[in-house]
Chain A
Amino acid sequence: MELSFGDFLMSNLTQFWHFTGFYNATWQHFVMLAVGLFFIWLAIKKDFEPMLLVPIGFGILIGNIPFNTHAGLEIGIYEEGSVLNILYNGVSAGWYPPLIFLGIGAMTDFSALIANPKLMLIGAAAQFGIFGAYMVALAIGFEPDQAGAIAIIGGADGPTAIFLSSKLAPNLMGAIAVSAYSYMALVPVIQPPIMRLLTTKNERLIRMKPARAVSQNEKIIFPIVGMMLTCFVVPSGLPLLGMLFFGNLLRECGVTTRLAKTASNALTDIVTILLGMTVGASTQATSFLTPETIFIFFLGFMAFIIASASGVCFVKIFNIFLPKSKKINPLIGNAGVSAVPMSARISNNLGLEYDPSNYLLMHAMGPNVAGVIGSAVAAGVLLGFLA
């Protein structure tokens, strides 16, 4: 039977209607779109980590446009062969985070750490946030590998969190990444109350000796020795630590300035755009709006609090054993989490609040960059134990 022109028109329009987002939308899609818009608003209006939250927020919008998933259009991020799926490979196969680490290495000046190596221990102490959250996650009922992937949020290091969750719990990666980046953006809100709570006024006024000048040779030796020592202890951290120290060597060796510039600018920007957008797009309503996500956000919050508190408390304990002239201001303890340079800036601002001439920024950068190394080592340890 031949279709009339009107029927032909109607059947095609009906088919088209079934392909539209309006037809396929559910309330979960709208919730996720609202979350995406909220992230963009936070980034633009509140200036919370805009470099991260704008790509993630827009990625959430891209990932949650409803469409007919049975039509085989190859447009969804989880549909093999789609453009988004190809871009997502950097996240799922875990090669974006090491590239970001290359850029971080090329951007980071480790002088403060080299000048005062004992500050590295603060970076190690703050990693207790990861394992504190691991214990809480196990108590809530997560499997050990899932708990490890969630707990790494406490390292305050987005690329590390993505890298580890892609290996240990790929199904939770979207929630873990969004949680990690959200809390990194909220570091200025989360950390100061903890720092105030755990320190006395006298402790906040401690002045630290200016760091000594570090020679070029020491700066060159640091990434080489650092990579070899840490990776010999934790080979599973090689992708992250190797790239971090490689980037730093490019920066410090003095003969690869162009490579260091590319790694720290163009390359990092490109990977950040792709990483943020695809991580955002991976947070699909069906898999994101679950009770597990709420637990992950709760655990991420716990991890940040424990990490900040353990950094501050460690400095207080450390000070007991240090001579009076070498005491450390516990306000730099929070910088042991690796949100570079945000948490170091918070140490500095809080220090200035109590003593307008006490600049702690350079001192806080030591534990801050040690936190980057520490969280990569912790991720390597979790990977080694649980993968």
Chain B
Amino acid sequence: MKKNIFLLIIALFCCAAVNGQGRSALRINEVMVVNDSNAVDDFGQRHAWIELFNSLHAPMEISSVYITNDPQNPKKYPVPLGDVNTRIPKRQHVIFWADGKPSRGTFHLNFLLEEGKDNWIGVYDANGITLIDSVTVPASLGRGMSYARSVDGAGEWQMRDDEGDNYITPSSNNIIRDQNDKIALFKARDKNGFAMTIMAMSIVFSALLILCLCFLAISKIGESIARRNKMEAHGISVADTDAHAATGHDTGEEIAAIAMALRDHFDAHDQESTILTINKVRRSYSPWSSKIYGMRHLPK
């Protein structure tokens, strides 16, 4: 019974872990309230849009999450089941059109965003209680502007007007990269590789030094435990050992030499019982180790 409870607890823990790595990583990434010159939907029409981003490095299924613009009504728009497009690939985006026409498809919401007002947008998990992410788009957001995170799935919210580096990026990365920043930085600041060598060797040494110190400590503890157990087995007290230590330890070679000398002198030999005993070894049965299942049945 106890074992079953333990397994149940582990199973629940695993379920929680799976959930923890799932939809909680869904992010509202960019929002446009008044779309007068930007992306068009499948019907060729422009509407306000909300971009969601899967910040995981794994695909995410978002069907049955809720998108809403009313904190009092968290279940306002459930993302329908059964649409393959609701599975967002890793680090990718989907656009929902806030056009109030859910009959047009999965990605058309049943509410509108209002110009000139603060627009609160929330994404709730399938239970309609857990708020995954929310944002309040300020009323001051102008026509044709978007409200976006500075970095996909993270960073500060900022207004973007599509001028200069302030790209509006529906269904695309909020930062457009044409190179790996880390490598560019190393290339610019560490041309000869000294910094990398110093850092990396320090880390390698630190990792192995920590391991080394840890095992020096473990071996000390292990040795002292082994010595104590041995003493207890032989009925030797700590005082006896201290007295022995004062006279110095006998090395293995010395003991071997003494034993050899005694044997030569007395022609002594250990008395042995010369009795051989064969005990049957009992093992608990398991089909995994059964010979019967391991045998090949040859065709007759």
Interface residues of A (CB under 8 A from B): 113-115, 117-118, 120-121, 123-125, 127-128, 130-132, 134-135, 137-139, 143-145, 147-148, 212, 214-215, 217-218, 221-222, 225-226, 229-230, 233-234, 258, 370, 373-374, 377-378, 381-382, 385-387
Is the beta-carbon distance between A138 and B192 smaller than 8 angstroms?
A: yes
**How far is A74 from B250 in the complex, measured between Cα atoms in Å?**
73
Q: Which of A137, A218, A233, A258 contacts B222 (CB 8 A)?
A: A218
- Given A218-B222, A378-B204: A385 in contact with B212 (beta carbons within 8 A): no
**How far is A144 from B209 in the complex, measured between Cα atoms in Å?**
27
With both beta carbons as reference points, the residue of chain A lying nearest to B198 in the complex is identified as A131
- Given A139-B192, A215-B222, A377-B203: A134 in contact with B197 (beta carbons within 8 A): yes
Is the beta-carbon distance between B194 and A135 smaller than 8 angstroms?
A: yes
Question: Would you give the 0/1 interface string for B49-61, flagging 1 where the beta carbon is closer than 8 Å to chain A?
Answer: 0000000000000
Question: Would you give the 0/1 interface string for B196-220, flagging 1 where the beta carbon is closer than 8 Å to chain A?
Answer: 1101110111111111111110110
- Given A121-B209, A124-B209, A385-B182: A374 in contact with B204 (beta carbons within 8 A): yes
Give, as a whole number of angstroms, the nearest-CB distance from A322 to chain B.
14
Is the beta-carbon distance between A144 and B215 smaller than 8 angstroms?
A: no
* Residue B82, interface by CB 8 Å: no
Is the beta-carbon distance between B192 and A117 smaller than 8 angstroms?
A: no
**How far is A244 from B27 in the complex, measured between Cα atoms in Å?**
36
Is the beta-carbon distance between A374 and B208 smaller than 8 angstroms?
A: yes
**How far is A222 from B216 in the complex, measured between Cα atoms in Å?**
11
Is the beta-carbon distance between A222 and B215 smaller than 8 angstroms?
A: yes
Is the beta-carbon distance between B215 and A234 smaller than 8 angstroms?
A: no
Give, as a whole number of angstroms, the nearest-CB distance from A332 to chain B.
16
Q: Which residues of A contact B212 (CB under 8 A)?
A: 117-118, 120-121
**How far is A217 from B225 in the complex, measured between Cα atoms in Å?**
11
Is the beta-carbon distance between B200 and A378 smaller than 8 angstroms?
A: yes
**How far is A222 from B217 in the complex, measured between Cα atoms in Å?**
12
Interface residues of B (CB under 8 A from A): 180, 182-183, 186-187, 190-194, 196-197, 199-201, 203-216, 218-219, 222-223, 226, 288
**How far is A118 from B210 in the complex, measured between Cα atoms in Å?**
11
Contacts A117-B219, A234-B203 known; list 13 others, CB within 8 Å. A118-B216, A127-B201, A128-B197, A131-B200, A134-B196, A134-B197, A217-B222, A229-B214, A370-B208, A374-B208, A377-B208, A381-B203, A386-B180
Q: Which of A135, A217, A225 contacts B197 (CB 8 A)?
A: A135
Give, as a whole number of angstroms, the nearest-CB distance from A176 to chain B.
17
**How far is A367 from B57 in the complex, measured between Cα atoms in Å?**
36
- Given A233-B210, A381-B203: A386 in contact with B186 (beta carbons within 8 A): yes
Is the beta-carbon distance between B210 and A229 smaller than 8 angstroms?
A: yes
Q: Which residues of B contact A225 (CB under 8 A)?
A: 211, 214-215, 218
Is the beta-carbon distance between B183 and A117 smaller than 8 angstroms?
A: no
Give, as a whole number of angstroms, the nearest-CB distance from A320 to chain B.
17
Interface of A is mostly: helix
**How far is A382 from B208 in the complex, measured between Cα atoms in Å?**
16
- Given A128-B201, A378-B204, A386-B186: A147 in contact with B193 (beta carbons within 8 A): yes
Give, as a whole number of angstroms, the nearest-CB distance from A51 to chain B.
28
Is the beta-carbon distance between B222 and A124 smaller than 8 angstroms?
A: no
Give, as a whole number of angstroms, the nearest-CB distance from B184 to chain A.
9
Is the beta-carbon distance between B208 and A114 smaller than 8 angstroms?
A: no
Is the beta-carbon distance between A385 and B199 smaller than 8 angstroms?
A: yes
Is the beta-carbon distance between B200 and A385 smaller than 8 angstroms?
A: yes
Q: Which residues of B contact A385 (CB under 8 A)?
A: 182, 186, 196, 199-200
- Given A131-B193, A217-B222: A381 in contact with B200 (beta carbons within 8 A): yes
Is the beta-carbon distance between B208 and A131 smaller than 8 angstroms?
A: no
Is the beta-carbon distance between B218 and A221 smaller than 8 angstroms?
A: yes
Give, as a whole number of angstroms, the nearest-CB distance from B208 to chain A.
4
With both beta carbons as reference points, the residue of chain A lying nearest to B193 in the complex is identified as A135
**How far is A13 from B227 in the complex, measured between Cα atoms in Å?**
84
**How far is A382 from B187 in the complex, measured between Cα atoms in Å?**
14
Give, as a whole number of angstroms, the nearest-CB distance from B287 to chain A.
13
**How far is A374 from B199 in the complex, measured between Cα atoms in Å?**
14
Give, as a whole number of angstroms, the nearest-CB distance from B197 to chain A.
4
Give, as a whole number of angstroms, the nearest-CB distance from B187 to chain A.
6
Q: Which of A131, A221, A222, A370 contacts B196 (CB 8 A)?
A: A131
Q: Which of A114, A143, A234 contacts B183 (CB 8 A)?
A: A143
Q: Which residues of B contact A374 (CB under 8 A)?
A: 204, 208
Q: Which residues of B contact A377 (CB under 8 A)?
A: 203-204, 207-208
Q: Which of A115, A123, A148, A218 contacts B208 (CB 8 A)?
A: A123
Q: Which residues of B contact A381 (CB under 8 A)?
A: 199-200, 203-204
Is the beta-carbon distance between A124 and B180 smaller than 8 angstroms?
A: no
Give, as a whole number of angstroms, the nearest-CB distance from B183 to chain A.
5
Q: Which of A131, A138, A215, A234 contacts B191 (CB 8 A)?
A: A138
**How far is A135 from B193 in the complex, measured between Cα atoms in Å?**
5
With both beta carbons as reference points, the residue of chain A lying nearest to B200 in the complex is identified as A381
**How far is A284 from B192 in the complex, measured between Cα atoms in Å?**
32
Is the beta-carbon distance between A131 and B207 smaller than 8 angstroms?
A: no
Is the beta-carbon distance between B200 and A121 smaller than 8 angstroms?
A: no
Give, as a whole number of angstroms, the nearest-CB distance from B235 to chain A.
22
**How far is A221 from B211 in the complex, measured between Cα atoms in Å?**
12
Q: Which residues of A contact B222 (CB under 8 A)?
A: 215, 217-218
Is the beta-carbon distance between A229 and B183 smaller than 8 angstroms?
A: no
Is the beta-carbon distance between A234 and B197 smaller than 8 angstroms?
A: no
Give, as a whole number of angstroms, the nearest-CB distance from A338 to chain B.
12
**How far is A182 from B210 in the complex, measured between Cα atoms in Å?**
33
